[in-house]
Amino acid sequence: MEIEEVSSCEALPLLSLNHVSLLCRSVWDSVRFYENVLGFVLIKRPSSFNFNGAWLYSYGIGIHLIENPSLEDFDKIMEPRPINPKDNHMSFQCTDVGLVKRRLQQMGMRYVTALVQEDGVKVDQVFFHDPDGYMIEVCNCGDIPILPISSCSFKPRTATFKTAAATKCGFMENVLMESLSMDILNISF
């Protein structure tokens, strides 16, 4: 077996995240959740599909729901699945984590919180499930600066972010950070 070095491969010419596709028990229950809780808008879906589904869009990304009747067995689960921040999830940036928590409480939704701290910056995270048990995170993660690993003295598996002191960024790192910052601003507004 031949192993090709990653650095010798050219990355795919991607532009952005287009959509996330999720299997669901009831398309309409999930549509209501993504509209009412997360603010997505139902959009036209190609009529050539021969299965029940829905497309939603907001924040520059789509969520494609695909109804799967075989998921009906999930109705037999007596206890809700634990909310585990270390589980697979999709994350959304927000402006006010406190408001998110108050609104989830008003809707009677279960959630857990977590706090991430880095160099005096605190990031609040709120985790909860959609109707099919998919994990959603809402956070103010944009408060943590995005630094390419090449801009830090990084020791894999042994150093923590606290002990890895940032070094001066080079020209390409500054160009990357400027481009990334502009992309984030364009997505946010």
Task: In whole angstroms, give the CA distance from residue 30 to residue 21.
Answer: 12
Alpha-helical runs (H) found in the chain: 27-36, 97-106, 171-188
72 is catalytic: no
Find where tokens 């364009």 sit: 186
| From 79, 137, 173, 178, the catalytic residue | 137
Task: In whole angstroms, give the CA distance from residue 170 to residue 12.
Answer: 24
- DSSP letter assigned to residue 83: -
Does an H or E element contain 126, and which?
A: strand 121-129
Find where tokens 């150093």 sit: 159
Task: In whole angstroms, give the CA distance from residue 185 to residue 189.
Answer: 6
Residues with catalytic annotation? 137
